[in-house]
Amino acid sequence: MAETTNTAYPQVLFANRKPDRIATIDDYRKNGGYEAIQKVVSTLSHKDVQKIILDSNLLGRGGAAFPAGLKLQTVADDAPFPRYIVCNADEMEPGTFKDRVLLHADPHLLIEGMLIEAYSAKAEKGIIFIRPEYENAARILEREVAIAEKAGFLGKNILGGDFSFTIDVHRSGGRYICGEVTAQLNALMGKRPNPKQPPPYPTEKGLWDLPTVLQNVETLCCMPPIIRNGAEWFRNLALTESGAGTKLYGISGRVNKPGCYELPMGVRLSEIIEKHAGGMPEGSEFKACLPGGASTRYLSRAHYDMPMDFETLKAAGHRLGTAAIMVFDQKTCMVAATLNLMAFFARESCGWCTPCREGTPYIRDLLWRIENGRGEPEFVDILKKQCKYLWNAYCAFAPGAVSPVEGLLADFEDEVWAHIHQKTCPFKASD
């Protein structure tokens, strides 16, 4: 599928990706694997590493796009020990599967990434928090962690220095909210995974009240190549000025070749769909896409040529999120699609704060009525108000949840009205 298409672009994270085969430690080392940590341990201070990561302009790949180097720097010099690294492999954003592909392709890339992160945060314990649906990946990781330990890359006095680091794989019980940093830390401590508003920030008081740096799988995997090739190299990988590095774009829905593609940051949406994902099926026209998972706004036809980079999308009032592009064609009912997304959010709301707990099912109910021909004209205003006020929820879940609804009301309001006026779903009627 994916690996055959884009030889034109450098493959950094997928350098060792092979069809139906997991890269072994030998495969990984053949291509320069574990050289970065060697370099780090023998020649760089933890501050040096932080500086390189910061200079590389590596932004968090989990969706929030927080600068990875900046996060490392928020661990105070005099912060207590032991410190923790958490790798967020709880990839639960609907439409997102890039981390799964990455973990199955090259597990040692993640292990080395965690080592670099740990070295720069002076952490000695790493935890990979993985969703239970990825049991297969969890087993791969456990196996490869043991192999890395045997090879001397994990454990005490790594590569003969005084740096020690171990990695545990923690399987989640499975809930979307566990992907949220503070909720994930609660989950790791055996508490209910409700988010907890900072301060204190996890880098100050995280796991067991100790400094904890949490990063997404893909973010961590970017670190070894950055160390090996330098910050400038990484920045230059992007096609846009604002971007840096390559990005794993997961594309699904109405395309001929759904899959995960490593492309330079800032590649255009049209190119991803047409060139890499094999275009849209016969008879399908691009209507909209979600650019980065369920909690982003729809990109309509007007944005078809948009460079897909955190900054460019932000400037257009959108979010790149996890870069999980879900493509909808003209035959898809946007009300029904949004209803599906809302049903997801209503089911996954953790129930901590009122707007999210009660507002998401409320919106789901309104959309369900509209979709099923029971919509009333005043629903549109109620929806708009609900969307607006869900931004006042406790964490970022609810603002994410209403993003597609806002997109629906902004770009497809006529479709909503058509449902209400015709007292049925026009897409069902035309079937």
> Which of 48, 142, 232, 358 touches other proteins (CB under 8 A)?
358
Q: How far is the CB of 74 from other proteins (least distance, A)?
A: 20
- Residue-wise DSSP of 323-385: -EEEEEETTS-HHHHHHHHHHHHHHH--S-SHHHHHHHHHHHHHHHHHHTT---THHHHHHHH
**132 near other proteins (CB under 8 A):** yes
* 182/312 with CB nearer other proteins: 182
Residues 169-188 that bind other proteins (CB under 8 A): 170-176, 187-188
Stretch that binds other proteins, among 47-55, 146-154, 168-176, 221-229 (CB under 8 A): 168-176
Please name every residue paired with 130 in a beta bridge, in sequence order, or none if there are none: 89, 171
Residues 236-275 that bind other proteins (CB under 8 A): 250-254, 258-260
Residues 18-77 that bind other proteins (CB under 8 A): none
**4 near other proteins (CB under 8 A):** no
336, 375 Cβ separation under 8 angstroms? no
* 29/171 with CB nearer other proteins: 171
Q: How far is the CB of 276 from other proteins (least distance, A)?
A: 12
Residues 277-306 that bind other proteins (CB under 8 A): 290, 294
* 97/234 with CB nearer other proteins: 97
For the chain, what is the radius of gyration of the CA atoms? 22
**355 near other proteins (CB under 8 A):** yes
**353 near other proteins (CB under 8 A):** yes
Stretch that binds other proteins, among 3-11, 59-67, 310-318, 353-361 (CB under 8 A): 353-361
* 114/327 with CB nearer other proteins: 327
**122 near other proteins (CB under 8 A):** no
Q: How far is the CB of 28 from other proteins (least distance, A)?
A: 23
> Which of 332, 373, 384, 413 touches other proteins (CB under 8 A)?
332
Binding mask 374-413 for other proteins (x = CB under 8 A): --------x--xx--x--xxx-------------------
Sort residue 75 into left (φ over 0), alpha (ψ -120 to 50) or beta.
beta
Q: Which of 188, 35, 180 is nearest to 116 (CA)?
A: 35
Spatial separation of the C-alpha atoms in residues 250 and 56, rounded to whole Å: 23
Q: How far is the CB of 202 from other proteins (least distance, A)?
A: 16
> What's the start-to-end Cα distance of the chain, in Å?
32
Residue 428 to residues 274, 283, 285, Cα–Cα distance (Å) = 28, 18, 18
Work out whether the CA dihedral 115, 129, 61, 390 comes out positive or negative.
negative
**95 near other proteins (CB under 8 A):** yes
**344 near other proteins (CB under 8 A):** yes
Q: How far is the CB of 259 from other proteins (least distance, A)?
A: 5
Q: Count residues binding other proteins (CB under 8 A).
A: 77
183, 193 Cβ separation under 8 angstroms? yes
H/E stretch holding 248: strand 246-253
Helices (H) and strands (E) in the chain, counts: 18, 9
* HSE (side-chain half, CA atoms, 13 Å) at 23: 26
68, 60 Cβ separation under 8 angstroms? yes
**197 near other proteins (CB under 8 A):** yes
52: helix, coil or strand? helix
Spatial separation of the C-alpha atoms in residues 151 and 303, rounded to whole Å: 48
Structure-token pair, residue 277: 């994902």
**324 near other proteins (CB under 8 A):** yes
**209 near other proteins (CB under 8 A):** no
Q: How far is the CB of 327 from other proteins (least distance, A)?
A: 9
Residues 6 or more apart from 320 whose CB is under 8 A from it? Answer: 65, 291, 292, 296, 308, 309, 310, 313, 314
